[in-house]
A = this chain, B = another copy of it.
Amino acid sequence: MADRPTPSSVPTGDPAAAWRGRRRRHDHGSKRDAVIRTAARAFDERGYHNTSLDDIAAALGVTKPTIYYYVPNKEQLLFECFRAGLEPIRGALLQAEQANGSGRERLRAVIRDYALAIASEYGWCMVRAEHQDLGPELGAQVRALKSEIDRGIRRLVQTGMADGSIAVTDAKLAAFAIAGALNWIAHWFRAGRSLSSAQVADSFVQFLEHGLAPRPAPGPVSQPSRVRRNRLKPKA
């Protein structure tokens, strides 16, 4: 796990440092964060079922009882990983709902923060973890949080449809397609390779913006869009 590079969008460095270094008296919160971040990386690398609390303790250089001091069990750890990745997206949605601008402009900011979150070490947990592994109570919480985000994106798409800045026919399907394109980043993105998470986020903003923006309707004056479409049309 030590050789896994960290995404450039998140605090870098070795989480185990929370137990070492000059500043020895780290607070409870930062150590708990280190446990969650280390678990996220381990789940991503080996899968949830193939990772034990012993593995996580070993990666942090602490004992298993130390882990239990911060989280009661592996299920809660999976839930905390999910929540850590989700919070920035919820924050972006809240900001977008209070912001000025068209629906598409406000959605743009959410798409960017969503992409960054999925390209972080929490991406795997947010996207690939199974609800079934969380038990009924935490599983229901995860479903509720995911549903909240889905609804938030759908509302922004609907806002854009209403103000003319977004041209799609079905807000629900469009929101699922956007979320799917973004969530899939967790399946292929690996930090430290050719693209940074910021570059990926920028590219997705550009790609999805292009797909959502309305096309000029054929005007009654010159009908130029038909002319141009013919010009661009490939020779099949």
Q: How many copies does the complex hold?
A: 2
Question: How many Å lie between the Cα of A203 and that of B172 in the bound state?
Answer: 11
Shortest CB-to-CB span from A95 to chain B, Å, is 16
Q: In the complex, what residue of chain B is closest to A102 when comparing beta carbons?
A: B234
Question: How many Å lie between the Cα of A217 and that of B211 in the bound state?
Answer: 16
Which of A32-40, A67-75, A77-85, A174-182 lines the interface with chain B?
Answer: A174-182
Q: From residue 123 to 168 of chain A, which have CB atoms closer than 8 A to chain B?
A: 128, 130, 132-133, 163-165, 167-168
A216 at the interface (CB under 8 A from B): yes
Question: What residues of B have a CB within 8 angstroms of the CB of A216 in the complex?
Answer: 215-216, 224-225, 228-229, 232
Question: What residues of B have a CB within 8 angstroms of the CB of A200 in the complex?
Answer: 173
- Contact across chains for B185 and A180 when beta carbons are under 8 A apart: yes
Shortest CB-to-CB span from A82 to chain B, Å, is 14
Q: From residue 209 to 235 of chain A, which have CB atoms closer than 8 A to chain B?
A: 210-217, 219, 221-222, 224-225, 227-229, 232-235
A49 at the interface (CB under 8 A from B): yes
- Contact across chains for B234 and A165 when beta carbons are under 8 A apart: yes
| A interface with B by C-beta (< 8 Å) | 46-47, 49-50, 100-103, 105, 128, 130, 132-133, 163-165, 167-170, 173-174, 176-185, 187-188, 200, 203-204, 206-208, 210-217, 219, 221-222, 224-225, 227-229, 232-236
